[in-house]
Structure 1
Amino acid sequence: MKLASLKSGGRDGTPVVVSRDLSRMALATSVVPTLRDAIENWGQVAPELQTLSAQLEAGKLDSLPYDPTTLASPLPRAFQWADGSAYLSHMRLVRKARGVEMPANSQTDPMLYQGGSDAFLGPVDPIPCVDTDWGLDFEGEIAVITDDVPMGCSTEQAKSHIKLILLCNDISLRHVMRPELIKGFGFFQSKPASAFSPICVTPDELGKAWTGGRVNLPLLTTYNGEDYGRVHAGKDLTFEFPDLIAHAARTRDLAAGTIIGSGTVSNEDHDVVGSNCLAEKRMIETIRDGNAATRFMQPGDTIRFEMLGEDGVSIFGAIDQTVVAG
């Protein structure tokens, strides 16, 4: 099942079911007022949404042409957005370029930060660039949406709490980030609103590509119209989503609608598959050449993230954004 939220209908949008080939979408308000309400009552609502989805596929529902410009992020806002760093190949590059060792427990203890979740950008909304000196960067990620997760949830139990999967552009301001990290109190100003794919899907939509904790497909990144990365999301992943969820729930309950991100999808053979953020490429240049040549984003730049199934059809639709002076 593929779900999305129209921008109309208030801050939480209006829910729609989307056809598997991304050609049509139909209102789901006969079942639930918003996707936020759906995830909070998933056990009751999911079967009814599945019925709507089947009716759409069979051509038995009034529908609209699929149009990502009318869509918000699936959850236009959420009670919680926690982002990890599950691909340690990315973290190793960043730390090596800075001459800093990896934490001793990096292989066993996931890293998470709590991002702003009060408002997300839509999948094709412009990215505001207030100051080019802030070091605007994109980060291509996978994310999951959970139902209610109890405190102390185990990794094995966490698998059943993953209800929806989507893509993310976790936007970062790299030159604002460094002084924040020096303070030792985490990200805040360096993490403006993130954007998510127009569509979120139930795990069964991924078929064999979903193994219960990871997506075994490449994430396709196009920067300024050119291939920038074809990084495989199932490779070089140190922590699967159940690991991240269990880590987040160690000392607190997670409310339904919590979004957990993987962190930048990264492979060890980055010289072959490319990267999913500018910072990673800059780190590679710094290690290789002594300095970074790649600039950060400026007004007019474009970034696109997409993932295709084995049939070549886009699974989540595309995050397709342009940087504008803000």
Structure 2
Amino acid sequence: MKLASLKAGRDGKLIVVNRDLTKAVSADAVAQTMQQALDNWAELSPKLQAIYEDLQAGKLDDVAFDFDPTKCAAPLPRAYHWADGSAYVTHVELVRKARGAELPESFWEDPLVYMGASDAFIGPHDDIEVESEDWGIDFEAEVAVITDDVPAGITPEQGLDHIKLITILNDVSLRNLIPAELAKQFGFYQSKPWTAFAPVVATPDELGEAWKDGKVHLPLHAILNGTKIGAPNAGVDMTFDFGRLISHIAKSRSLMAGTVVGSGTVSNRGSKDGSCCLAEVRCLETIAEGKPKTPFMKFGDRIEIDMLDKDGKSIFGRIDQKVKQYHPPR
């Protein structure tokens, strides 16, 4: 089953989308918003699934409309909880190596996670608005899952059972603001602006064999200004699968339905298939040549992020954003 949220009010309008992302129908008869569906997932998901199957079978052609991703908000325009991991420890290792720092052994055993801003996620075609290029504008292509209610203290295996939806995202980072924030030893805040999501979320069964062991075993494509930056496989070198991440963040507290858990920047050891953020590209350049040469994003740049199935078709729809200068009120 595939779902999306059209832009409407603060929480969007829930729709059911067909498998090839060409047609959609309103889900009003079952749930008005994605959060409402997640709050009552056990009861409502079978009803949404029935609509999806009828849409696929052509039984709803009289009420179906053309699916337009440019009209989509983030699937969850605002979420109660957004926890972003750094599950690809090879990426963390590379970043530290570029600045001559050793990676603590504990990083391979204990996940890194931070709680991000979830009050206003943005849609797949919304601009990346930043006040200054000097802040070091970077994209981060990630995979994410959305849960139902998760009890505290669950095991990683139990965590997998609470994954209801999967998608991809662009977790924008302002790289030049990060060092000063981390030096305070209190985590990210100003360095993490709007997070953008693909237009569509899919239930795990939609990914078929690509969803295995709590990982999505498909390349995640990142294209900047028409040039491929990378397409590393999200199922390779993911040190902590999503079940482990969910278990980690639910160690001491339960999680509410609609919790979004990110994988962190997808990265493969050696970056044979490229990178999913510019920071990693710059680290590789620093290691090889002594200094980075690739600049961070500029106003007017365009970033596209997508994940394709084995037949080359987009699973979640494409994130397609431009960087735009933000002018604060004076």
- Tell me if TM exceeds 0.5: yes
**Corresponding position of 1:20:** 19
Q: Matches of residues 52-67 of structure 1 in structure 2 within 5 Å?
A: 52-61=51-60, 62-67=63-68
Q: Matches of residues 102-251 of structure 1 in structure 2 within 5 Å?
A: 102-251=103-252
Q: 1:325, 1:230 → 2: CA distance?
A: 28
**Corresponding position of 2:298:** 298
**Corresponding position of 1:286:** 286
Give the letter aligned to residue 52 of structure 2.
S
Q: 1:14, 1:212 → 2: CA distance?
A: 32
The percentage of counterpart residues that share the same residue type is 54
**Corresponding position of 1:7:** 7
Q: Deviations over 1:204-242 (max 9, x none)?
A: 000000014000110111111111111101111100000
Task: Return 5+ residue gaps in structure 1 as ranges.
Answer: none
**Corresponding position of 2:269:** 268
* Residue 263 of structure 1: how far off its partner (Å): 0.2
Q: 1:122, 1:255 → 2: CA distance?
A: 22
Q: Deviations over 1:226-264 (max 9, x none)?
A: 111111011111000000000000011111100000000
Q: Deviations over 1:12-58 (max 9, x none)?
A: 10000101111101100110010101011100000000001011112
- SS of corresponding position for 2:279: helix
- SS of corresponding position for 2:220: strand
**Corresponding position of 1:51:** 50
Q: Deviations over 1:177-210 (max 9, x none)?
A: 1100111110000001100110000000000000
- SS of corresponding position for 2:222: strand
Q: 1:212, 1:44 → 2: CA distance?
A: 26
Q: 2:213, 2:51 → 1: CA distance?
A: 25
- SS of corresponding position for 1:269: helix
* Residue 163 of structure 1: how far off its partner (Å): 0.3
- Relative to structure 2, which stretch is displaced further, 93-102 or 29-38? 93-102
**Corresponding position of 1:74:** 75
Q: 2:125, 2:5 → 1: CA distance?
A: 13
RMSD: 0.8
* Residue 269 of structure 1: how far off its partner (Å): 2.7
**Corresponding position of 2:253:** 252
**Corresponding position of 1:98:** 99
CA contact (8 A) 1:129 1:298 kept: no
Q: 2:4, 2:104 → 1: CA distance?
A: 39
Paired residues in the alignment total 324
Q: 2:169, 2:99 → 1: CA distance?
A: 26
Q: 2:230, 2:222 → 1: CA distance?
A: 5
Q: 1:144, 1:256 → 2: CA distance?
A: 12
Q: Which runs of 4+ in 1 moved over 2 A?
A: none
> Is 1:322 aligned to 2:317, yes or no?
no
- Relative to structure 2, which stretch is displaced further, 238-247 or 50-59? 50-59
* Residue 99 of structure 1: how far off its partner (Å): 1.5
- TM-score, L = length of structure 2: 0.97
Q: 1:183, 1:287 → 2: CA distance?
A: 27
- TM-score, L = length of structure 1: 0.98
Give the letter aligned to residue 208 of structure 2.
G
